[in-house]
Amino acid sequence: MPKPINSNELVGDTIHEWTIQEYDQHERGILWYIIIISLGLFLVTYSVFTSNFLFSFIIILFFIIIFLQSNQKPIQIPFKITDLGIIVGKRFYNYSEFDNFYIIYKPPYTKTLFLDTKSIFHPAIRIPLLDVNPIEIKHSLREFLSEDFEKEEEPLSDSAARNWRIH
């Protein structure tokens, strides 16, 4: 469980640090909005005809979130790798909370560090590498975590969200 960082919290010496965005900001053209609005209207109409009002509610909430997200700038979040754990924003994660890590590096599409948590209730932490050297990150993290060599592709949810310009 991540801990909020207090001023007296021991988090270790910083090895690497950079700033990431809360979410990816995509350029969306008028065609994207036409397709998404058409799909949304179709799904809401279908759910009303099938009396599935919960699905309608979920679709409407999804579109409200996408609209609000597209009209605001993402927050800049500091990210640090220390000798005792990982700091994301104002949260500190001990290395003992992670199972392993892997890096998907296929520029220009994806340059991402994934940290798999041991808890089934916490998803993997996804950190964009931006202009950081992935080799240095790998060498630093290998001292504290094992690397998962079997994962060579990013999760389907991430690639779908990037391709559909959702997050």
Total domains present in the chain = 2
pTM of the model: 0.82
How much is the pLDDT for 155?
87
Residues 52 and 82 in one domain: no
Q: Looking only at Cα atoms, what is the longest distance across the chain?
A: 59
Domain boundary among 44, 70, 96: 70
- Average pLDDT in the chain: 90
Residues 7 and 38 in one domain: no
**Across residues 133-153, what is the average pLDDT?**
94
CA distance 8 to 6: 5
Position 61 confidence tier, pLDDT thresholds 50, 70, 90 = very high
Residues 91 and 118 in one domain: yes
Which residues span the domain enclosing 40?
30-70
Q: What are the b/e assignments for 62-81, b being 16+ CB within 10 Å?
A: ebeebeeeeeeeeeeeebbb
Tell me: the pLDDT tens digits for 76-96?
Answer: 999 999 999 999 999 999 999
Q: Which residues contact 42 (CB under 8 A, 6 or more apart)?
A: none
